[in-house]
Amino acid sequence: MNIQNNKGQLSQVMILILILVSAIVILLVITRYVTKSTMDESVSACRISVMTQAATAWGIISKTSPLDINCDKRYVNFYNTRAELGLSLENMNSINVDLGDHKAKKFSELNDFIVDQVVAEELRVCKFEFGDGEINIFPNDKSGIFTGKDVCFVCSEINFKSITPSKTFIGLIDYTKKTTFSDAGTSYFNYLTEPTLYNESMWDQGAYIDEHPKDYTISLDSSQSYSVVVRKHVPVAAGTKIIVSSIPIIGGPVSSMITSTESIDIGIVQTKNLNKYCNLQAS
């Protein structure tokens, strides 16, 4: 009787293993070969692959996934009278930009309002693609506790083409605060600064570290190239820290808890300085 029970249990285990393997194979196919003929399909494919990679990550000490992310870098080119977007520099399409009273693919002069709306949308797309900061991204590219190495993915590369004379574009933060993008009336600012998995704002309006001064203004110089980046950050020599919470517990006024010092953030950096903030490129 015990032998029969053991055989029955073994059969159930084998069935579960086969189901799990089959599910992983299906996810591999979905995340790798989902069509990406349009920009929207590319964004959806990326988000699906990021979510499934996080969902299939497992391990006793270090969780990894059998799946890779399937995300494209987007390219944005600004010209004096148009802006372009594409998944490759060889296949760019004009952006239908908001000119205040109407939308158009051509405009008389590139200005702050046009640059700000395009960059704000690239920030929004980047946050959306990587799970809104609510999942543990990049499990296959762990920087490792105490290493201080950051894992990044470049969502967008922004270039200014033939802008003469050179210009500086400002007002991005103000634009995100007063401009909504959803039917629910959500502003770019409120969306980008929602708490992440680590209970921190995903978008530090000052971008990264020393890129911008303390007054939290973002200025984009047309003589420079910029990257919109999502980053999983691990501070140097600090994988975890002990903090005292204010949550009451039975038998005492407060409790001690261990929280991760990791963070997930997005920001805009000069492309030439990308290596200052990214030690590893995500896969």
Rounded distance between C-alpha atoms, residue 169 and residue 21, angstroms: 51
| pLDDT value for 22 | 52
Closest to 155 in 3D by CA, of 6, 56, 11, 46 = 46
The predicted-structure confidence for 13-72, as pLDDT tens digits, reads as follows 555 655 555 555 555 544 444 445 688 999 999 999 999 999 998 877 677 888 899 999
**Residue at token pair 């640059």:** 115
Give 232's strand partners: 151, 264
Low-confidence ranges of the chain (pLDDT < 50): 29-35, 207-215, 238-260
User: Within 56-152, where are the H helices?
Assistant: 112-129
Of all helices (H) and strands (E), which one includes residue 30? Answer: helix 2-33
| pLDDT value for 148 | 59
Backbone angles phi, psi at 69, to 5 degrees: -75, 155
Rounded distance between C-alpha atoms, residue 231 and residue 130, angstroms: 10
Amino acid at 229: V
Q: Distances in Å between the alpha carbon of 202 and those of 52, 221, 228, 233?
A: 21, 24, 13, 11
Rounded distance between C-alpha atoms, residue 117 and residue 231, angstroms: 22
Rounded distance between C-alpha atoms, residue 221 and residue 218, angstroms: 10
